[in-house]
Amino acid sequence: MLWIPFSNIQQRIGGKRLTPRLFVASVGPLHSVNVPGKLPMLAAYISSSFGAGKRITLASLRAGMRRRSRSGAGAVRSVPIFFGINTVQLRARFGLQAIFDRGRANLAKAYVAHMKAGR
pLDDT along the chain (119 residues), means of 10: 87 86 87 92 76 65 66 69 87 84 91 83
Residue 14 is predicted with a pLDDT of 81
Residue 73 is predicted with a pLDDT of 54
Residue 47 is predicted with a pLDDT of 67
Residue 61 is predicted with a pLDDT of 73
Residues 82/4, Cβ–Cβ less than 8 Å: yes
Alpha-carbon distance 98 to 7, whole Å?
37
Assessment of whether the complete model's pTM goes beyond 0.75: no
Q: Which helix (H) or strand (E) holds 46?
A: strand 41-46
First to last CA, the chain: 58
Residue 44 class from Cβ within 10 Å (0-12 exposed, 13-18 middle, 19+ buried)? buried
Alpha-carbon distance 42 to 40, whole Å?
7
Residue 5 class from Cβ within 10 Å (0-12 exposed, 13-18 middle, 19+ buried)? buried
Alpha-carbon distance 45 to 38, whole Å?
20
Residue 58 is predicted with a pLDDT of 72
